[in-house]
Amino acid sequence: MIQTGFYIGERDWWIMASFDIKEKNLGDIYNALMASGCPDDEARHACMVLSRKNNGYAFTSPEGQFTLLFASETTSADEMFDTIMHELKHCVEHISDYYGVNPKSETAAYLQGEIARNLFPAVAMAVCPKCHE
C-alpha cells in the first residue's frame, strides 16, 4: 500500500491518500475511516468496494475539512491512474461544495491541479512501481 498526505493551505484542507490497497490492508482502511468519523455502515461498504480490484473510494469530512482517497489494487497501470483520477474528481467536488465553488470553474480546475501535483509522487509509485526501484 502506498500512502501520502498533504495540506492545501489556501483551502485549509487535508488530503490523505492510500493506493494499491490489498485485502490485508482493509483493516487499516476501516480503522482510518472510523477514526475519521465515517459511519460504520459506510466504512464497511468502502472496504467491500476496495476489496475488489479497479475500485476506489473517497470519504470527506466537511466538519474536519479533510478527505481520504483510496484506490484498490488494479489490473494495470492505466486502471490505477483512471481510479485515482476518478477519486480526485470526487475530492474536488467535495471541497468545491464546502466552499460554494462552481465545480466547472477555473477555481475548481486550479484546485484539481494543486491536488494532482501533490499526489503525483504517490501516483507515479502506484502506476509504475518498477520505475522507482
The helix (H) or strand (E) run that includes residue 110 is: helix 106-127
The amino acid at residue 56 is G
pLDDT of residue 19: 95
Res 5: pLDDT: 97
Residue owning grid cell 483493516: 27
| CA gap 65, 59 in Å, rounded | 11
Contact 52, 31 (CB under 8 A): no
pLDDT of residue 100: 96
Instruction: Please give the pLDDT value at position 90.
Output: 96
pLDDT score recorded for residue 128: 83
Closest alpha carbon to 61 in 98, 96, 31: 98
Residue 99: other Cβ atoms inside 10 A: 13
DSSP 21: E
Q: Report whether 73 contacts 53 (CB < 8 A).
A: yes
- List 54's β-bridge partners, or say none: none
pTM above 0.85, yes or no: yes
Q: Please identify every stretch of the chain with a pLDDT value under 70, giving residue numbers as ranges.
A: 129-133
